[in-house]
Amino acid sequence: MNLRAATVAFAITLVTLAGASAGCVQISGGAVEVSWEVQANGRAIIDCSCASPKIATVRIDLVGRGGTIQGATPCAGQAQCEFSCQRKTGATPFDIPETKGGETYGIKVVAVGADGIDLPNNYAPDAVYRTVSRGQPTEVEAFLLDVGCDNECGGMNNSGVCARP
C-alpha cells in the first residue's frame, strides 16, 4: 500500500470512529420510559393547553422502595426527567441505579402547570412498581391524566375531543 492509500484509509477509519462515537449513549444504570394520555370525562384532549388546569410539562417521578435504594429519588431536580406534555412520552437517561433482589421503584407521572407548580395528585394515577436493569429501558404502561376541558377551548365539541375551535 502506498503512502497516499494509507493516508486515505487512516482518514476513513478516523471518520468512521468519530461517527460511531457520536451516536453512543452513556450507560451508568437503567432507564425508565413512560407514556401518558390526557383526557376530560373519558374524551381525548389533543392540546395540553386545553386541559383544565392547563398542563405545561409532565415529570417522571421515581421513588426507591426496599434495600439500598429505599427512598432514593433519582429524578428529583433533574431537567432530563421533565417533558413537554404534548410529547405524550418521555424517558430518563440510562442513569437510574439498577434494582437488586426485593427492590423496586415507584414510578408515576406528575403534571406541572405553566407556572412550574405541580398540579394536585388527583389528576394522575398512583405509582406502579417496577425493577430497573442496567442498560435496559423499563417501560411502563400509559398513565391517564384525567382533567377537565378548558372553556377557552370551546368545551367539548361534537366529536368528543377537547380542542381549540
The residue type at 114? A
Share of the chain above pLDDT 90, in %: 56
Confidence band, pLDDT 50/70/90 cuts, at residue 97: very high
Q: 69 versus 17: which is more confidently predicted?
A: 69
CA distances from 120 to 62, 78, 115, 145, 161 (A): 17, 20, 13, 11, 23
pLDDT computed for residue 74 by the predictor: 97
Predicted structure pTM score: 0.79
Name which of 69-78, 127-136, 155-164 the model is least confident about.
155-164
Please tell me the predicted confidence (pLDDT) of residue 155.
58
DSSP-assigned letter for residue 44: E
Strands (E), the chain: 31-40, 43-44, 51-52, 57-65, 82-84, 89-91, 104-112, 128-130, 137-139, 143-149
* pLDDT higher than 80, residue 3: no
- CA pair distance 85, 42, nearest whole angstrom: 18
Contacts of 53 (CB under 8 A, 6+ apart): 113, 119, 123, 147, 148
- 124 touches 2 (CB < 8 A): no
DSSP at 101: T
